[in-house]
Structures are given as structure tokens and as C-alpha cells.
Chain A
Amino acid sequence: MTDPKLTDLLEESFLRCRDLEAPLADRLNAFANELRSLGPHFQATVDALVSRLAASGAGAAAPKVGEPMPEFLLPDDQGRLIRLEDFLNEGPVALAFNRGHWCPYCRINIDALARAQEEIASERCQIAAIVPDRQRFTVWLKSDTGAKFPVLTDMDNGYAMTLGLAIYVGDALKRLMASSGWDPSVSQGTDNWMLPIPATFIVGTDGIVRARFVEPDFRLRMTIEEMLAALRAAN
């Protein structure tokens, strides 16, 4: 059951952290701290998942620097089918795997990407966010963050799974998430509670991964500075 008071508190905390004038890592960390003070039990469950994922080597098989990024064909927020090649014809691209429109960390992440989008576009580089959410929710995510870049739908985490990035959240976290109003089944159109490990890949026009950030701890993301540097180097 959703507790309306908790969800309201979480949204307030989220807005405070999202609107900070601070680097992405600080904003993410600020929200993680707020969450700790709201529900300490959350912390233990999240830590348990993160250490389990680390122990199982989750994400280890994802493409490494110097390896080719596998091609994809995914619908964007307007229902257009987009290939990796479509981006590479224009320039280097940052592919940011995010968990969904409901995830505060991902909203902060995509908000930070949107803040950097003009600078990235001026260097003839691109961004694409990839989420398992359906179109109605990718449209919402774009307007929530002011993102002008495409937000692609990866149904059932199919592409993420080919990269070894799809994980099951686990029974304990599933219960906690549902009680916090973070239920991905509606937006994903399936109730399998699989999520991608957040990851960012910088891909050069030759399709080769130039930099990557793969982290089972979903509270951590590639910094905007690292992303910008890698995109510039790939250009």
C-alpha cells in the first residue's frame, strides 16, 4: 500500500535536491542523505542489493572501453525508431541508461544532462537516455527535465539485457519501492521488476566505446565533466 505522506515527503526532498545549484554527484548524494533520514530501513535494503549485485559481477559483461557498442533499434518518445547508427552519423553520443521516470536519482541525472545539453550540442555531440518506460512516461520525463534529446524506450530491458545490464530488484526492495510509490510496472507495461543498472557509454563515430560508467549502486552516475571530456576527445 502506498503511504501518501511518505510519497509527499519524498517528492519534497527530491525537488530540494534536484534544484540545487551543485554538481550532479552532490545532488545525488544530497537525495541519498535525505532518504536516509526519512527511512533508515531503506538504506539497509538498498545496500544489501548493491553488495549482492557487486558479488554476482552484475554489469561486468557490459561493453568496455575499446570495444564496439552493439547496435540497437528503439522507439523514441515520439514513436520514431532510432538506431545507434543514426546518432553516429551525426557525431559522438552519450548513451545514458536510466531506471525510469519514477526514480529520483534518474530524474536528477537526466535533469543534469539537460542542463548540459546546449554545451554538448554546440560541440556537435549528442545525448540519448534509455529507459524501460513506455512512451507516455518518456514524454513526461522529457517535460519534467526539459530534455531536448531523445528518451528511448527499451521494452523489457531487452537491449540492456544483451549488455548484461538488466537486474531483478529483489523481493525486499520490491516491497519497499511499492510502498514508496515507486512502482515501475505501470510505466514498463510488465510487472517483472527488472531494472537496468544505471550506466553511461560514450560512443565514438566509429561505434567504439570511448568511456563508460557502469555502477550497480544506482545512487552514483557518470559526472557531467567526465562525460563532456570523453565526448570532446571522441570528436
Chain B
Amino acid sequence: MHQIRYFLAVSETLNLTKAAVRCNVAQPSLTRAIKALETELGGELLRRERALSHLTELGQRMLPMLRQCYETALAAKVVATSIRKGDAAPLSVAVSQTVALRAFTPVLRELSRVVPGLQLKLRRGSGSEVAEYLKSGTAELAIAGPLGEAWSRLNAFLLFEEPVDLIVNRNHRLVGRNRVELGELASETLLINMECERLQELRACLEANGIRDTATHQVATQEDLLELLRANLGVAIDAVGEAETSGLCRIPLNELNLVRRVSVYTVAGRQRTTACATLLNMLRAADWRFDTGATQQRRAYR
């Protein structure tokens, strides 16, 4: 593990002397460790020059994966030393407006069983607000759809995908249909959650199918969207989870091939707390039953 720590230090300083100082180790030890890592990986990671070292192609390629493993390993060490103590364990999580918490409560319950000092700070927000919470460090971990962020320090791990369907009230005229054409919605009032991460994508899709001047009701929270659906004030195009659709009907839409991809996000390079590291591993390891990766499953199960 120290070999990777030294390599990461060299990749940041591009200078063996500086890297050795940063790692608090003599330079020959650092050089030896990197040589051993190179032997293990089967190629040179560094092109050594007097003042400045460069990463080789292999070094560039290995850097992100070594960093990811190192961070998980570092977190595993922190977890191992802290779980005995039962110290207060603050955990700030940001969840997008459009993601229902219910799917995640069993995981949170298990986390609080093992981390008795757990103190949860749960925030809600739009996609851009969630991204901002992560950047500023207000949230350590986030669960959301695509954040539309190109920030290189943002780590995203896909949890599951859900198809985007038409959601209507149980008394709506379209209930009972197997499929609906987008064109049939021209006369409907669309309920739109303005905080939805996929709003632009959805608008583009509607316009591409000739739906431009539909009447809309705009809401800012998912609860309000569901409430207006229950009151039959309009229809929605959304990826609402099974648990929330009681009293509502979900109908697949032709021409619409949108899915909601829900991911867990963290920020690379920040030290993770025990609670955060454990929650991240639990979310990533969990079997999300509504995962649609059916073809991948078949391949992997052979």
C-alpha cells in the first residue's frame, strides 16, 4: 500500500525528492518501492529525469485506478481503527429531489446498527445544488441522477437504471393502454418538476417529437408532483419508483428511450469518514433488484 502512496505523491509532485519529503521517507526507499510496483505492474510508470519526472503511458493509465483502490483501502483502515470506539460519526448526505429515500433506508438502518454514533445530516436539492454541496464539502456523499458536471474530482458509481414512463392518475383516460405514443400527449397538461436533473433532456425529447406548446404545471418537489398526479391535474413523464406510484398508473411511452441513472457520488482526494466510507461500500455492493443490466447479468453468471 505504501508503494501506491509513494507513486501518487510522485504523480502529484513530478519530483522524486519532493515526493520523498511529502511521504516522510528517504528517497532511495521511495525509488525502491516504485521499482517494486513497476515490477508488479509489468512496466515502467515513470520516466526519471533530474528535476522533473514524467508519468509513462502505463503510469497515466494506472493512476486513476490506483488512486481509487488506495482511497478505498485508506478508508478501510480508518474504519477498522474507529469502529471499536463508538465515537460520534457525523455523515452528511445530499439526495436529489427526484430520488426517493425509501430504497435506501434499509442500508441506513444497517449502517446505524454498526456505527452507533451515527449522526445523519440529510440534504435535498436539484442536480446543481447537489453538485455544489459536494464541491463545497457540505455533503460527503450524494445520491442523484446525472449531475451534468464535468468536474474531474467527482467520482460516480452507477447504482441502478429505471425506465422513464408516463405516469397518470388511476382515473385517467389512458389507463389500460399497454403503450402510448408521445403524440397523444399533445392535448394533456404536463406536470414538470423544475428541479429534475433530466429536464433539458426531456424537453429536447418532447420537442423532437413535435410536442412544443403543451400546457404545463410546474412544481419544485417530487412530493408536489405526485400530489398533483393523485389529484389528476395532469400527467408526468418520470421514473417514479414502484413504492411511490400507489394510486397511480405507469404506462410505457413509445419513441421515448430515456432512463434514469441513479448514481452515488463522492469527491476524489478527500479523506472519507468511517460512516461515509462504509455507506459508499454498502451502496456499491448492494443488489439493486430493479437493476436493468439483464444482459450483463447473463454474461457474468455463466
Contact = CB atoms under 8 A, between A and B. Distances in A.
B194 to A, nearest CB: 32
A81 B110 CA distance: 7
Interface in B59-108: 62, 65, 68-70, 72-73, 75-77, 79-81, 83-84, 106-107
A194 to B, nearest CB: 6
Contacts, number: 136
Contacts of B299: 2, 181, 183, 186
B72 A81 contact: no
Given A79-B107, A80-B110, A57 B72 contact: no
A1 interface: no
A132 to B, nearest CB: 10
Contacts of A146: none
Contacts of B280: 155
Grouping DSSP codes into helix (H, G, I), strand (E, B) and loop, the A interface class, with mixed when no group exceeds half, is mixed
Contacts of B231: none
A11 B299 CA distance: 13
A81 B114 contact: yes
Interface residues of A, number: 55
A172 to B, nearest CB: 8
A52 B70 contact: no
A135 B75 CA distance: 20
A156 B1 contact: no
- Chain B's interface size range is 35 or more
A136 interface: yes
B271 interface: no
A159 interface: yes
Contact of B40 (A75, A80, A81, A167): A167
B302 A79 contact: no
A81 B106 CA distance: 12
A167 B302 CA distance: 24
A43 interface: no
B281 interface: yes
Contact of A72 (B80, B282, B293): B80
Nearest to A170: B42
A78 B120 CA distance: 23
Interface string B277-302: 01011101111000101001101111
B106 A79 contact: yes
Given A81-B113, A186-B299, A168 B72 contact: no
A168 B1 CA distance: 13
B65 A194 contact: yes
A139 B284 contact: no
A73 B80 contact: yes
A161 B73 contact: yes
A161 B39 contact: no
B83 A136 contact: no
A75 B285 contact: yes
A163 to B, nearest CB: 8
B122 interface: no
18 contacts: A55-B39, A70-B77, A71-B83, A73-B79, A73-B80, A79-B285, A80-B110, A134-B285, A139-B287, A156-B69, A157-B72, A157-B73, A158-B75, A158-B281, A171-B42, A189-B284, A192-B68, A192-B69
